Homo-oligomer: A and B are copies of this chain.
């Protein structure tokens, strides 16, 4: 069975287990999300569905994203912009993000020793962590070679948004 189908099934199992219904809208959305899996935001999703002439309202997009997050199949993340992004997380693999403030590109990484160190800090502070959120902003290799200079932190947000616009 192709991966997309399997993940759709997982989501449907979740729905049934919660006493929720399997609707055409939900299935169309998760098919889209699981097939293109990368970082996206609600507006992009709305737009893509419109492109494919699948009629789905903004309210349903947001409501389904919430369900997907609850089901554990999708994660909601900050990527240095003023709105949330979402990402399909196959097999629970946690990772954090390097975000280029010039071109908007996102590099994923997972570093067990970084995670371990975080746990040590929590232990020292008698804090029981549930999850965390780490973004490192800066300049990617490609942009650095092109001679881009690091932005000062205050300008980063603005620039990142410009970069994201450009990518579209």
Contact = CB atoms under 8 A, between A and B. Distances in A.
Interface of A: 66, 69-70, 75-76, 78, 80, 98, 100-101, 107, 109, 111, 113-114, 117-118, 121-122, 125-141, 144, 150-154, 156
Contact of A127 (B75, B107, B133): B107
Secondary structure class of chain A's binding surface, majority of residues = mixed
26 contacts: A69-B153, A78-B78, A98-B121, A98-B122, A98-B125, A98-B127, A98-B129, A101-B130, A107-B127, A111-B117, A111-B121, A114-B114, A114-B118, A114-B121, A117-B117, A118-B136, A121-B136, A125-B141, A127-B138, A129-B136, A130-B152, A130-B153, A131-B153, A132-B136, A132-B137, A133-B133
A132 B131 contact: no
A12 to B, nearest CB: 18
A154 B122 contact: no
A141 B100 CA distance: 36
B114 A127 contact: no
A43 to B, nearest CB: 17
A134 B134 contact: yes
Given A98-B129, A132-B137, 15 more contacts: A76-B154, A78-B78, A98-B122, A98-B125, A100-B127, A107-B127, A109-B125, A125-B141, A126-B141, A128-B138, A128-B139, A131-B137, A131-B156, A133-B133, A133-B137
Contacts of A138: 122, 127-131
Contact of A139 (B127, B135, B141, B150): B127
A111 B113 CA distance: 14
